[in-house]
């Protein structure tokens, strides 16, 4: 299957700082990328959907000014958590869809964010 | 609104047993269904993808079936091993949204 990478795998930051997480599709072009958040022992919660070259579509209740998403190319999407606070601490997972794989979605390894 | 449910929520079996995980969904208008595995603190690994026109898919010791009309899918794991211990998630794609809708997950523990 296709490979999706995320960087960094974990990050610890002080409250009030901004953190950027990168998501890359390594061997395919991802026309659509997704960002999820996962709380302990819960399933994934979709935050937003981004298509290359256009603005992201955010799910209800997700602050777009808080979670900035940029999908500048067919292989890269970034999530920036602005002015992070302890309640933003979570596991963030990106995903990419490739139409060449029958709309199969491939997931990155996740980024553990801890805000002190 | 599509809802995906997985039963059981948790399962513990001795090594070597064959087991079945169940997934049900309320809206049968899907394009495909995926089964994933998630290890603690890790991302999701795609196990099997079944298109809506297919009945089943096989990969090694894994076999997934799909009955779209009844809104059900099963993941069969043969000869389970301790390394199979993980959370298994099913997800459906299609219907009115362009999103993957996840089930609640089954936490599997295979005892050596």
pLDDT of residue A99: 67
Q: Indicate the average pLDDT of chain B.
A: 93
Q: Which one is predicted more confidently, A27 or B86?
A: B86
Q: Is the pLDDT of residue B23 over 90?
A: yes
Q: Is the pLDDT of residue B105 over 90?
A: yes
Q: Indicate the average pLDDT of chain A.
A: 91
Q: Is the pLDDT of residue B96 over 70?
A: no
Given a contact cutoff of 8 angstroms between Cβ atoms, the answer to whether B8 and A76 are in contact is no
Q: Which of A50-54, A111-115, B61-65, B77-81 has the lowest mean pLDDT?
A: A50-54
pLDDT of residue A49: 92
Q: Does A61 touch chain B (CB under 8 A)?
A: no
pLDDT of residue B90: 96
Give me A21's structure tokens: 């997480």
Q: How far is CA B46 from CA A95, A106, A107, in A?
A: 11, 7, 8
Q: What is the mean pLDDT of residues A15-26?
A: 95
Q: How far is CA B51 from CA B32, B68, B84, in A?
A: 4, 10, 24
Rg of chain A taking only CA atoms, in angstroms: 13
Q: Does B42 touch chain A (CB under 8 A)?
A: yes
**CA dist., res. A46 & res. A93, Å (int):** 9
Chain A CA closest to residue B97: A49
Q: What is the mean pLDDT of residues A39-62?
A: 88
DSSP helix, strand, coil percent of chain B (3-state; round to 5): 5, 55, 40
Rg of chain B taking only CA atoms, in angstroms: 13
- Phi-psi map region of B105: left, alpha, beta (phi>0 left; psi -120 to 50 alpha): left
**CA dist., res. B69 & res. A38, Å (int):** 31
Q: Is the pLDDT of residue A1 over 70?
A: no
pLDDT of residue A101: 66
Helix (H) or strand (E) run with residue A20 in it: strand A19-25
Q: How far apart are the CA of A74 and the nearest CA of chain B, in angstroms? A: 18
Q: Is the pLDDT of residue B97 over 80?
A: no
**CA dist., res. B7 & res. B9, Å (int):** 5
Q: Does B97 touch chain A (CB under 8 A)?
A: no
Cβ-nearest to B44 among A32, A49, A93: A93
Largest Cα–Cα distance of chain B, in whole Å?
44
Chain A CA closest to residue B6: A43
Q: What is the pLDDT of residues A71-99, one digit of tens each?
A: 888 899 999 999 999 999 999 999 998 76
| Residue among B25, B40, B43 with most chain A CBs within 10 A, to mutate | B43
| Residue among B10, B39, B44 with most chain A CBs within 10 A, to mutate | B44
**CA dist., res. A47 & res. A38, Å (int):** 10
pLDDT of residue B15: 97
Q: How many CB pairs under 8 A join A and B?
A: 51
Q: What is the pLDDT of residues B26-36, one digit of tens each?
A: 998 899 999 99
pLDDT of residue A51: 85
Which residues of chain A neighbour B99 with C-beta distances below 8 Å?
34, 46, 49
pLDDT of residue A31: 81
Q: What is the mean pLDDT of residues B32-48?
A: 93
Q: Does B52 touch chain A (CB under 8 A)?
A: no
């Amino acid at each position: 299957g296709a490979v999706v990478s995320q960087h960094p795998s974990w990050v610890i930051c002080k409250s009030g700082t901004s953190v950027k997480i990168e998501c890359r599709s390594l061997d395919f072009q991802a026309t659509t990328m997704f960002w999820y958040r996962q709380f302990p022992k819960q399933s994934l919660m979709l935050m937003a959907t981004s298509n290359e070259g256009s603005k992201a579509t955010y799910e209800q209740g997700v602050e777009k000014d808080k979670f900035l998403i940029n999908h500048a190319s067919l292989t890269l999407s970034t999530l920036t958590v602005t002015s992070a606070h302890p309640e933003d601490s979570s596991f963030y997972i990106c995903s990419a869809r490739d139409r060449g794989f029958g709309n199969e979605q491939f997931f990155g390894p996740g980024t553990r964010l801890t805000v002190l | 609104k599509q809802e995906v449910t997985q039963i059981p929520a948790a399962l513990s079996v001795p090594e070597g047993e064959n087991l079945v995980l169940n997934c049900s969904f309320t809206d049968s208008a899907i394009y495909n269904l995926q089964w994933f595995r998630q290890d603690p603190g890790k991302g999701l690994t795609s196990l099997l993808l079944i298109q809506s026109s297919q009945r089943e898919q096989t990969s090694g010791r894994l076999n997934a079936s799909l009955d779209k009309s009844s809104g059900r899918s099963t993941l069969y794991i043969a000869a389970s091993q301790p390394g199979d211990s993980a959370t298994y998630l099913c997800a459906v794609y299609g219907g009115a949204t362009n999103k993957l809708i996840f089930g609640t997950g089954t936490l599997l523990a295979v005892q050596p």
